[in-house]
Amino acid sequence: MANAELNPRDWRDIRVLRAQGVLAELHTVDLDEADRGLRAYAAMTGVPLHTVARQVVDRELTISRELCVPAPARRRPERRPDRSSRAGGTESRRGRRTGVDREAVRADL
């Protein structure tokens, strides 16, 4: 395909892909992480994505690795089940509903 046949939008998409490659190589991250950083920077600054991509490819802009690689999620402590949620907290097995009609069972005996 000749250059004249390419849509200008295709060139912008190619520039974004090239910028992803530059960031991936620079920060040793995968392409998805590089894309995340590119889009995060564009969103933070309000600059169009294709402009940011052009600046990265032309080495006018360096995006930090922190934007590309998300911080590890902080681990929340496990919640133990609340034992006081049952009525009275000391309900015996006899008081629980089991789906069996105890009166009918007693009558059969």
Sequence-ordered alpha helix ranges (H) in 46-101? 49-57, 65-68
Q: Where are the alpha helices (DSSP H) in 4-101?
A: 8-27, 31-45, 49-57, 65-68
Give the predicted TM-score (pTM) of the model. 0.57
Rounded Cα distance, 26 and 34, in Å: 10
pLDDT at 6 over 70: no
Q: For 100-109, what is the mean pLDDT?
A: 60
CB 96 within 8 A of CB 63: no
Q: How far apart are CA 43 and CA 100, in angstroms?
A: 61
Per-residue pLDDT of 41-70, as tens digits, reads 999 999 999 999 999 999 999 898 888 887
What number is the average pLDDT over the span 73-95? 61
Confidence at residue 12, expressed as pLDDT on a 0 to 100 scale: 72
Domain ranges across the chain: 3-68
- Spatial contact of 63 and 23, defined as CB atoms under 8 Å apart: yes
Tokens of 34: 């590089």
Mean pLDDT along residues 11-40: 90
The pLDDT value recorded for residue 1 is 47
Residue 53 near residue 19, CB atoms below 8 Å: yes
Nearest alpha carbon to residue 64 among 8, 32, 23, 107:
23
108: confidence class by pLDDT, cuts 50, 70, 90? low
Give the pLDDT band of residue 78 (cuts 50, 70, 90): confident
- Report residue 72's pLDDT band, with 50, 70 and 90 as the boundaries: confident
